[in-house]
Chains A and B, each alone.
Chain A
């Protein structure tokens, strides 16, 4: 070597987004709150699958002799105004809640990611148009937008999913657009372009895998919002129709007996709070674990 070479330090550290799964898990384990959230979510999933087989009562079995009874050994969470067992209804409602949450987030994520990635990758006019549409969607208060969509489509469980999905689109689109903009500038994208790769290949093989972690975090946090919004819609009578044991609808039923039999509204309310909280703290923990730089 000639004598003039200087030792240049490596210019950038390894991409912080890309860390081995093991490291992420290790950091996640250190976060107690996130672990509690994670186990709760796991518990909900298990309950929603096997729970319905073990409930003491049928969720729509009416017993008019025993209406609005308080919690007892027989009816753990009491009975509602038709004498239905609230505990059984909440267990059956668990799968509905998770179903709404999962599919609405899935719809929102798929459409949002697609918009965001196209917008960020191609830029220009396409970007301007897509992002302005997203801005319009974001300008509505969430529940109002979902309410509007449901009232156009008609009230049913699946329409709630669609409307909550659409209402989640802009959040995904924005986050993915931002990440795409930063990934697209990296040299490995130029390298595959120099190899002659098509836009399709670059987007799905190279950009998408590298913007995955913010998507996962957003999806977890969105689950909480989706559950809450869906319950809200059902509470207003636009979502699940009776006698479906949907928590929001149950809360709405209980509203009339708030003073005489508070437990009818209390238990579904607590169930919603716990599920939303579990997804929120788990999502927060996941974000910190995936991107340690953000916290410090």
Chain B
């Protein structure tokens, strides 16, 4: 029996654009526009999409690092967006984040000892006399040596810094960790190490991950389920196998077709979209993908498609497209 650990309902994050001499709000960037999804306990849900589609904003909104415009973030039955600051500070113990850039995500003026001690001190998770033992344990968990406890961040490599970031997140014994492009800044061999570390930690500590990435290879490696975002909306979500092997949304298909294939002789269909991603300031009406979709017709411009399941989809797989059936049966042809 799987239980939902985190549920996001109708989350919206609009950033105001101020202008004029009075600093009035003249427009809004609709970074995340009405999205809903859930994460089961112990699983990894990945959010993929190109830059600027709202992946990271979603993560930050869940943690209330930026205050969302509206919506609900229900964590273990409690709406994180409606509780007060003080309660939220306590709650932060259960939700942690590992950032993208290991050079910017740790305070360069603190030693590893200070970083870890501070984390435990803020949430008061371990009594003072036992903290040193716990620090040693954490360092060992993430694959660093105890002799590195009193070093400063600049004495470490990128991969090691990312491990410090992971240790810091783990210091408060969280249940849920958001990995915001956590391996994108590392080189390939280190990426693999860190990903495997994350996987192992998930098994050992029963962690739940929300994994934000633009790297489909990494996503395929680590996820249980995958959500595809385009311009602030979730266009398709489902089990990893379903998304990768049986994509339904035209955007997902074109995104997946961008994965390079190692066999140079293998012919593959490459779907190249026309144009650029529209601005999230004035996103297209109806289906946001209609300006670039090869299958778009009139209804796409006016009616926003909801996430739905068809007969050819399994599990929790849903996609937001008006023409899933038509495209599948070949009744609708792309107009490249």
Nearest CB on B from A63, distance (A): 57
Contact B99 A187 (CB under 8 A): yes
Instruction: Known A2-B217, A193-B65; judge A187-B259 contact (CB<8 A).
Output: no
Residues in A with CB closer than 8 Å to B184 are 8
Instruction: Known A5-B215, A18-B154; judge A188-B122 contact (CB<8 A).
Output: no
Contact A1 B221 (CB under 8 A): yes
Contact B97 A190 (CB under 8 A): yes
B97's partner among A6, A191, A198 (CB-CB below 8 A) is: A191
Q: Per-residue 0/1 for A190-218: is the Cβ within 8 Å of any B Cβ (1 yes, 0 no)?
A: 11111111100100011001100000000
A11's partner among B91, B101, B187 (CB-CB below 8 A) is: B101
Instruction: Known A12-B103, A186-B104, A210-B109; judge A4-B154 contact (CB<8 A).
Output: no
Residues in A with CB closer than 8 Å to B215 are 4-6
Count of CB-CB pairs between chains A and B under 8 Å = 117
Task: Check: A74 CB closer than 8 A to any chain B CB.
Answer: no
Residues in B with CB closer than 8 Å to A206 are 107
Contact A191 B99 (CB under 8 A): yes
Cα of A190 to Cα of B105 in the assembled complex, Å: 8
**Chain B 191-238 interface residues, beta-carbon cutoff 8 Å to A:** 191-192, 195, 215-218, 220-221
Task: Check: B108 CB closer than 8 A to any chain A CB.
Answer: yes
Q: Per-residue 0/1 for A5-19: is the Cβ within 8 Å of any B Cβ (1 yes, 0 no)?
A: 111101111110110
A196's partner among B89, B102, B185, B221 (CB-CB below 8 A) is: B89
**Chain B 67-124 interface residues, beta-carbon cutoff 8 Å to A:** 88-93, 95-97, 99-109, 118-119, 122-123
Cα of A198 to Cα of B86 in the assembled complex, Å: 9
Residues in B with CB closer than 8 Å to A6 are 188, 215
Instruction: Known A4-B260, A5-B215, A195-B123; judge A205-B118 contact (CB<8 A).
Output: yes
Instruction: Known A2-B218, A20-B154; judge A188-B191 contact (CB<8 A).
Output: no
Residues in A with CB closer than 8 Å to B217 are 1-5
Cα of A10 to Cα of B65 in the assembled complex, Å: 24
Instruction: Known A2-B217, A190-B65; judge A15-B97 contact (CB<8 A).
Output: no
Interface range on chain A (Cβ under 8 Å from partner): 20 to 34
Nearest CB on A from B28, distance (A): 18
Closest residue to B98 on the A side, CB-wise?
Answer: A191
Cα of A258 to Cα of B185 in the assembled complex, Å: 69
Which of B101, B103, B184 gathers the greatest number of chain A CB atoms within 10 Å?
B103
Instruction: Known A4-B260, A187-B99, A195-B123; judge A15-B108 contact (CB<8 A).
Output: yes
Cα of A196 to Cα of B260 in the assembled complex, Å: 41
Contact B103 A2 (CB under 8 A): no
**Chain B 149-174 interface residues, beta-carbon cutoff 8 Å to A:** 154, 158, 165, 168, 172
Closest residue to A189 on the B side, CB-wise?
Answer: B107
Q: Per-residue 0/1 for A167-193: is the Cβ within 8 Å of any B Cβ (1 yes, 0 no)?
A: 000000000000000000011101111
Residues in A with CB closer than 8 Å to B168 are 191, 195
Task: Check: B127 CB closer than 8 A to any chain A CB.
Answer: no
Do most interface residues of chain A lie in helix, strand or loop, or is the interface mixed? loop
Nearest CB on B from A120, distance (A): 17
Contact B185 A11 (CB under 8 A): yes
Contact A10 B107 (CB under 8 A): no
Task: Check: B262 CB closer than 8 A to any chain A CB.
Answer: yes
Nearest CB on B from A265, distance (A): 48
Instruction: Known A1-B217, A2-B218, A20-B154; judge A188-B90 contact (CB<8 A).
Output: no
Contact A14 B107 (CB under 8 A): no
Nearest CB on A from B150, distance (A): 15
Instruction: Known A2-B218, A5-B191, A15-B103; judge A194-B108 contact (CB<8 A).
Output: no
Contact A11 B100 (CB under 8 A): yes
Nearest CB on B from A74, distance (A): 55
Closest residue to B262 on the A side, CB-wise?
Answer: A3
**Chain B 123-153 interface residues, beta-carbon cutoff 8 Å to A:** 123
Residues in B with CB closer than 8 Å to A209 are 107, 109
Residues in A with CB closer than 8 Å to B65 are 190, 193-194
Task: Check: B63 CB closer than 8 A to any chain A CB.
Answer: yes
Residues in B with CB closer than 8 Å to A190 are 60, 65, 97, 99, 105
Contact A7 B187 (CB under 8 A): yes
Cα of A187 to Cα of B106 in the assembled complex, Å: 7
A195's partner among B92, B109, B158 (CB-CB below 8 A) is: B92
B residues within 8 Å of A by Cβ? 60, 63, 65, 88-93, 95-97, 99-109, 118-119, 122-123, 154, 158, 165, 168, 172, 184-188, 191-192, 195, 215-218, 220-221, 259-262
- Enumerate 13 A-B pairs (CB-CB under 8 Å) in ascending A order: A3-B217, A4-B260, A8-B184, A12-B101, A12-B103, A14-B103, A15-B103, A15-B104, A186-B104, A196-B122, A198-B89, A209-B109, A210-B109
